[in-house]
Amino acid sequence: MKENNNINNVMEDLKKKPLNGKKTKIAIFLAIIFMIYCVVILIKLLANPTDTVIVEQGKIYKEETVEGYIIRDETVVDKGDATSTIIHQKDECDKVAKGETIYRYALANEDELNAQIKDLDSQIQQALKEETSFFSTDIKLIESQIESQLENLNENTDLKELEHYKKSISTLTTKKARIAGELSPKNSYIQQLIAQRSNLENQVNSGSQYVYANRSGIISYKVDGLENTLVVGDFSYLNKKFLDSLKLKSSKIIAGSSTEAKIIDNFKCYITFISKTDEAHNANVGDSIKLRLPNNSEVKAKIVHKSNESDKEVLIVVEIEDEVEKLVDYRKINFDVIWWSYSGIKIPNSAIQYEGDFAYVIRNKAGYEEKILVKILRQNDSYSIVENYSTAELEEAGYDLSTLGTKKSIGIYDEIYVKKKK
């Protein structure tokens, strides 16, 4: 019985063998087809490699980096006969009115007088510490102000601000001493010290030659000798050869002068530059553009002069009204000219394909590819701002809508194909 069962099992195996062979052939055939498909896809990817990106809302620019020369309406203050070191009555970039004192010339013995004043200040402060009879609310208020300024001094790192706080503390300390002197008994030690200090201070002030502003504006002690060379008004004197002859270095800070100053129009200044771009050639006087300055701030600018240097180069002068005071330190800078900017649906240029005069992109939607026509509004070297065509626009342009099936639109967060860089 057992032997009969073994024979039956063998016979069943023999019957199954032809069927297994047929399945094997089918499996091999399907595998070959799949391999061929993979090879074709691989060849396509190698010939035209793609990736996907997400469509976003954004802004594109058409810009270039240039070197520019800063031209200001500025007047060097008449020095008179004095040639000694100047003592600032107004700090760098302070606003001044016509006729206002801006600086004075140091006396020949001013260092000696200042040393004596400093020594008296120390004696007065020591005397005030030892005096316990002053309970004036004015003195208490001044002491509070001094403490506040000292805190500001310790927390600040800006050099101009530090100088301001130091001067403020010195002024408050002197004021405190004078009030204490008035409150102290006649001919007291403190009064004698304050009287000596006042006498020395009067010698400095009365013996100095003061200089006054001959116009309104902002004061600057950064005088570079080009104030009467790079002038505003008729800009026809400007050309590439002239600018090159100045031999200026970009972003070099103008050194401060210890003997003279100038007053600058703080409402506007001008920058001239040379460009080879199509945008520069097509620009007109009166056009508005933007500049991105070295501190990364973007300011509006208006073209006020244009001249052709050659068939390839154009010289342009622009007027700006913002960030004027922040450019006082420089005569030549590197900056970006933003000829235009545009906002909207932003896609890479590598995602755009063409069919005749129409641009389109391929959208990947849940694994299905969809062809979507797009209208290019603005384009720079890398990106485009696009929008969707209306049905009326497509019909008017003569496009066969039947080739599209249902009209589709591109939108934010859509996934589209782009060509990879080889």
- Residue with the larger pLDDT of the pair 11 and 58: 58
Mean pLDDT estimate for the chain:
82
The CA distance from 131 to 184, in Å, is: 9
Q: How many helices (H) and strands (E) does the chain have?
A: 8, 19
Contact 261, 74 (CB under 8 A): no
CA atoms 275, 280, 284, 288: torsion sign = negative
Arithmetic mean of pLDDT, 225-244: 95
Phi first, then psi: give them for residue 19, nearest 5 degrees. -65, -45
Contact 103, 203 (CB under 8 A): no
**Structure-token pair, residue 249:** 């270095």
Is 7 a residue whose pLDDT tops 60? no
Predicted confidence at residue 418, as pLDDT, reads 92
- Residue with the larger pLDDT of the pair 262 and 129: 262
Predicted confidence at residue 9, as pLDDT, reads 52
Arithmetic mean of pLDDT, 172-196: 68
For 307, residues 6+ apart whose C-beta sits below 8 A from its C-beta are 236, 238, 239, 314, 315
**Structure-token pair, residue 276:** 């080879």
Q: How far is CA 53 from CA 114, 315, 348, 349, in A?
A: 70, 40, 9, 12
- Lowest-pLDDT choice from 175-189, 331-345, 348-362, 365-379: 175-189
Report percent pLDDT > 70 for the chain: 74
Residue of 61, 62, 63, 68 lying closest to 319 (CA atoms): 68
For 142, residues 6+ apart whose C-beta sits below 8 A from its C-beta are 172, 175, 176, 179
- Lowest-pLDDT choice from 13-27, 45-59, 369-383: 13-27
Arithmetic mean of pLDDT, 228-246: 96
Residue 406 carries which side chain, given as an amino acid letter? T
Predicted confidence at residue 37, as pLDDT, reads 64
Predicted confidence at residue 133, as pLDDT, reads 55
CA atoms 5, 11, 16, 21: torsion sign = positive
- Lowest-pLDDT choice from 109-113, 154-158, 275-279, 367-371: 154-158
Predicted confidence at residue 415, as pLDDT, reads 93
Read off the pLDDT band of 357 (50, 70, 90): confident
Predicted confidence at residue 6, as pLDDT, reads 47
Give 200-219 pLDDT, tens digit per residue.
Answer: 777 777 667 888 898 999 99
Predicted confidence at residue 190, as pLDDT, reads 72
CATH number of the structural domain 50-58+344-419: 2.40.420.20
Read off the pLDDT band of 340 (50, 70, 90): very high
Q: What angle do helix axes 110-130 and 189-207 make, rounded to 10 degrees?
A: 160
Is 132 a residue whose pLDDT tops 60? no
Predicted confidence at residue 198, as pLDDT, reads 77
Question: Does the domain made of 64-74+230-256+265-343 have the CATH classification 1.20.1050.10?
Answer: no
Is 320 a residue whose pLDDT tops 90? yes
DSSP characters over 391-422 = HHHHHHTT--GGGTSS-----TT-EEEEEPP-
- Residue with the larger pLDDT of the pair 185 and 271: 271
- Residue with the larger pLDDT of the pair 384 and 123: 384
Predicted confidence at residue 163, as pLDDT, reads 64
What are the residue boundaries of the structural domains of the chain, listed by start? 1-47, 50-58+344-419, 64-74+230-256+265-343, 107-207
Give this prediction's pTM.
0.69
DSSP characters over 107-153 = PTTHHHHHHHHHHHHHHHHHHHHH------HHHHHHHHHHHHHHHHH
Give 267-299 pLDDT, tens digit per residue.
Answer: 999 999 999 999 999 999 999 999 999 999 999
Most confident of the ranges 315-319, 350-354, 412-416:
315-319
What are residue 388's DSSP bridge partners? 374
For the chain, what's the residue count?
422
